[in-house]
Amino acid sequence: MSILISSLMLGKGGKRVVVKDSIDIAGSPTQAGSAALAEAAPATAHADIVARTLQAGYRIVGKANLHELAFGMTGVNGWAGTPENPRYPALIPGGSSSGSAAAVASGLAEIGIGTDTGGSIRVPAACCGVYGFKPTFGRLSREGVMPAVSSLDCVGPFAADLAELIGFMKAVDKGFAQASLGPVTSLGMAEVAAEPAIVEGIDRQVEKAGVPRSSVSLGMLDEAFQAAMTIIKRETYLAYEGLLASGKLGSDVDKRLRAAAVTTDADVAEAEKVRRAFTAKVDALLDRHDYLVLPTLPHFPMTLREALAGQQDLDLSRFARPFNLSGHPALSLPLASHRGLPVAMQLIGRHGDDAGVCRAGWQLLHPASHRDDTANRR
C-alpha cells in the first residue's frame, strides 16, 4: 500500500495523526504527490494546522499520499503509488486526500488531516467508510498549504470515530465549542438524483433518528457544481502552470491543467455570480431548517481497476463540490454499506455552525443516547 509518502515522529505520546503531503511540515519536502516536485526543498516552517496539532498534544506519524497536486477525485497516483482502500479494497480510495482517509480507515492513525477544494475530504471519507469534515471556509488557517491561494479550499480532519473528530476540532480550534445538547428539530432533505440504494440508506437512518424532516429543492446544485469547477480550474492553473514545462506531471493532471488554461475572466465572473446566488439559496434554506441532508456521493465509487485503466469520475463530487463554492460547513458520515459498497450521508450547516453540524451528526447516528441525555436533564 502507498498510504504514506514518509514516516515521521513529531510530538510525544498522544494520538496519531497523518498529514496530507500538500501541507508543510518543517524539515520535510512538500511534494504533493508529484514527480515535478520530487526535488522540492524541505519546508522551513510548519503549516499553521501542523503547529496547532502538535501544540494540542497529538503525535504526527507520517505524511499521507494524495492524488497528484490535489487535482483529482480517484486518488490514483502513478508516481507516488495509489493508496489501497482498506475497507473496500476493490474500489478507489477517492481523492484527493486519499492517503489521509486510508490511513484512518486502516488504523494507522486516529486522525487524518486533509484538504477539501471540491470534495477532497468528503469524497475519500465516503469511499473509505470514515468520517470527513470540511469546516466553514476560512475557519482553519491555510497558511503553509498548497496551493497558497484558493477561494474554495479548506483544511479539515478525517476520523474513524465521530467523537475523535470532534475532539480534534476542539483541540485545534479554540472557537469550536460543542453546541448545546438541544435536539435537532428540522432537517431539509435535499431532492437529488442519486443511486436509489444510497438515498434509501439515508432515509432509513434519518427515520431511525426520529428527527422532523421535509423535502427541499437545491435547484442550483448543478450550476454550483459547474461554477466550482470553473473556479478550481482557474485557481489550480495559476498555481501550477509553471510545472507543465517539466514534463513530469501525470497524464491525467497534465491534461486537466492544460485544459484549464482556456478558462476566461468572463467564465470566472459568471461563476462568481453563481456563487453568490447559490450561497444565498442555501442560507435561505438554513433559515427554515437546522441542517440540510443529502448524499455525499451521487453513486457508488468506481473500481480501482477501472481507475488504473484511466477512467475518471469528476461527477463523484457532484454533491460535495457546491458547498466549497458556498463555503458552508459539511460533514460526511458513513452509514451501513449496501452489498459491500459504501454509503455516506452529508450534513450541511450554517456558516460558522461547525460544532452544530457535528452535534447533529452525532444525534442522527446515536438517537438513543441523545434521548437518554435529554431525559437525564429533566
* Pairing mode, strands 291-295 and 330-338: unpaired
Contact between 17 and 61 (Cβ < 8 Å): yes
Is 20 a residue of the active site? yes
* Pairing mode, strands 341-348 and 291-295: antiparallel
- Pick the catalytic residue from 120, 150, 317, 332: 120
Is 63 a residue of the active site? no
C-alpha cell at 251: 497524464
Q: How far is CA 231 from the centre of its chain?
A: 17
Residue 96: count other Cβ atoms within 10 Å of its Cβ.
32
Exposure class string for 29-54: b at 16+ Cβ within 10 A, else e:
bbbbbbbbbeeeeebeebbbbbbbbb
- Pick the catalytic residue from 20, 63, 233, 281: 20
Cα dihedral 251→252→257→259 (10° resolution): 100
Is 96 a residue of the active site? yes
- Pick the catalytic residue from 22, 96, 106, 326: 96
Residues serving a catalytic function are 20, 96, 120
